[in-house]
Chain A
């Protein structure tokens, strides 16, 4: 397959166009981020903002006994979500990649349909399903597996885990599917010709070659999950407290924007670290080829 290469114009010859291209990300991405960073060095006392630069917000994060444990718990939760989505998403992606012709893309599109729905509505729906009188409990009661509705599914960390996993599965399927799709058919044929069983082909050829996509999926889901405050807020109840909820409260009820900004910067560092790790591992694996 031939590929057309996109040749960027040189900056000197088309500077107005180049300027326009850069203006948008600078105005809507870089500047807001810089504002966030700047805010994190301000300080609020009794609802009055002090613009003298200080590291007190960061000091507070590391010394107050509340924040680090919640961040750690949130990271663990999001790692679990990432692994669960990949565990559930890999077979789906594998199945889709193994299909031929138009049906593969039709099914892929169908799988992505939930992404067109409002996030809030999906959380509401899942919350109804998981609730004490919800579909899940009613099904278990009907099957005779339990005598009383279980409360372990909703308004705790389990609920956050389950809900985030269900919501984020499409984000795991897509990168894995793309990496599986790119594996040339000839490699599998060669493997079979050389006497490898289906399992051996999968373990020695397909799995290693799809690892970059799998790691991208893990990173994707982790980053999306850790930035989410709505899901924990709505299904987390009294025990499912996460870092996103703390940040949300700083901007909402506490009106402490500088501290909220500092917490967001810390979260951004975690996210950037996750992406960097994903990139490093993804690259190493593909270099094995």
Chain B
């Protein structure tokens, strides 16, 4: 859901070109091996697809999706038969595994998986990708929700989201207008272990903490552009960076003196993975694709082109020791949203 917003920003033209390209390719040889891919923009670029086709001798047919719900409609709608593999985030992945729409991956066919960055290579430590000892998905691409700070105004460099409550920065904090995420990150700041399943008492505690945060907040923003515009025309020191590195890049391009940090208590992050459908026709071919896109070269290109973090080459999205907490479905989104309204209405 969160990744969707970010990905929509990617150029539509690239998608159109890729669609035309893949249709042409599909038309050429229907008798050869075929790989049917469902992916987000930027996850199956034309040059990669072409190289993979030459290497494997298969035809690759990519369909791009724009929302999480669209993936569900396409995979569930055909009971997994219309595609061989798909890209999905770890929060969403759970309902596919629950519904038996995935096929476990044989890691022997994906040698590049072992060369992934340390925070991703041990799949038992990546929450959500394994179930009952089997690997249902392999991490591919992520972004963290860290903290952007103005290097001229914030000294020393912050290490925790705690700094948002620092009275020094009263009226200089930009927060994000979303109750769900705000409850999760505040839970982490308060040292609550599971920020996605809060008890009523924990929610009350967080609510009080967020009401206190309001005193420091200049405004709540919704889009990355909006945050940049507010930053440019006001005295802003700290930004809770919902859009991660994309936001950082846009601000640096505009000449802002800023830096980015993932808080030590753990940064919320989304993580997109590759999963095989239950209707996969050529399992080995699909696994070859995953192995292919886990090359360092492709990871670097991915980060360069999209601003997202890849899982094989270091990127500014997360350092080697950063603690990433992958977003999960929360206990009660409506309740969080109602409480968020109460917080905003509090005097």
- Chain A positions near chain B (C-beta within 8 angstroms): 44, 46-47, 66, 69-70, 124, 127-128, 131-134, 149, 151, 154-155, 233-234, 236-239, 241, 245-246, 249-250, 253-256
Asked whether A133 and B233 contact (CB < 8 A) given A69-B345, A155-B218, A238-B344, the answer is: yes
Residues of A with C-beta under 8 A to B220: 237-238
Q: Which residues of B contact A237 (CB under 8 A)?
A: 217-220
Contact in complex: A254, B333 (CB < 8 Å): yes
Which B residues touch A47, using CB under 8 A?
333-334
Q: Is the CB–CB distance between A154 and B333 below 8 Å? A: no
Which residues of chain B from 158 to 182 have a CB within 8 Å of any chain A CB? 171, 175, 177-180
Q: Which residues of B contact A127 (CB under 8 A)?
A: 229-230, 233
4 A-B pairs closest in CB distance: A131-B233, A254-B337, A237-B219, A132-B234
Decide: A246 and B341 in contact? CB cutoff 8 A: yes
The answer to whether B338 has its CB under 8 Å from any CB of chain A is yes
Is there contact, CB below 8 Å, between B178 and A253?
yes
Query: A133-B234, A238-B220 are known contacts. Are A128 and B171 too (CB-CB below 8 A)?
Result: no
**Interchain CB contact (< 8 A) of A249 among B217, B230, B341:** B341
On chain B, the residues within 8 Å of A132 by CB distance are 233-235
B218 near A238: Cβ-Cβ < 8 Å: yes
Counting residue pairs across A and B whose Cβ atoms lie within 8 Å, the total is 80
On whether the beta carbons of B337 and A238 are closer than 8 Å, the reply is: no
Known: A66-B342, A237-B217, A237-B219. A133 touches B337 (CB 8 A): no
* CB atoms of B171 and A151 under 8 A apart: yes
Tally of B interface residues using CB under 8 Å: 30
A127-B233, A132-B235, A151-B171 given as contacts; is B338 within 8 A of A241 (CB)? no
Please, which residues of chain B bring their CB within 8 A of the CB of A134?
Answer: 233-234
Q: Give the nearest-CB partner of B181 in chain A.
A: A253
Residue of chain A at shortest CB distance from B226: A234
Give Cα A241 to B211, complex, Å.
Answer: 13
Smallest Cβ distance from B168 to chain A, in angstroms?
A: 16
Q: Which of A66, A233, A255 contacts B334 (CB 8 A)?
A: A255
If A131-B234, A238-B220, A256-B334 touch, does A70 touch B340 (CB 8 Å cutoff)? no
Q: List the A side residues contacting B179 at CB < 8 Å.
A: 253
Is B235's CB under 8 angstroms from A238's CB? Answer: no
Smallest distance from the beta carbon of A5 to chain B beta carbons, Å?
51
| A128 and B334 form a contact (CB under 8 A) | no
Q: Is the pair B219, A133 in contact by a Cβ cutoff of 8 Å?
A: no
Residues 210-254 of chain B, each 1 if its beta carbon lies under 8 Å from chain A, else 0: 000010011110100010011011110000000000000000000
Give the chain B neighbours of A133 by CB distance below 8 A.
232-235
Q: Which A residue sits closest to B179, measured CB to CB? A: A253
The CA of A239 and the CA of B213, in the complex, are separated in Å by: 12
Given contacts A132-B234, A256-B337, contact A241 B345 (CB under 8 A): yes
Are B344 and A245 neighbours in the complex by a CB distance under 8 Å? yes
The answer to whether B334 and A254 have CB atoms under 8 Å apart is yes
- Say how far B162's CB is from chain A's closest CB, in angstroms: 19
**Pair B344/A128 contact, Cβ less than 8 Å:** no
* 14 A-B pairs in the complex with CB atoms less than 8 angstroms apart: A66-B341, A128-B233, A131-B230, A131-B233, A133-B234, A233-B177, A237-B219, A238-B175, A238-B217, A238-B344, A241-B344, A253-B179, A253-B180, A255-B334
Q: How far is the CA of A255 from the CA of B180 in the complex (A)?
A: 12
Name 16 extra pairs, CB < 8 A, besides A151-B218, A241-B345, A249-B340: A44-B334, A47-B334, A66-B342, A70-B345, A133-B235, A149-B235, A154-B234, A237-B217, A238-B219, A239-B214, A239-B347, A253-B333, A253-B337, A254-B338, A254-B341, A255-B337
Question: B70 contacts the other chain (Cβ, under 8 Å)?
Answer: no
Confirm or deny: B51 has a beta carbon within 8 angstroms of a beta carbon on chain A: no
CB distance from A121 to the nearest CB of B (A): 11
Q: Is the CB of A238 within 8 A of B333?
A: no
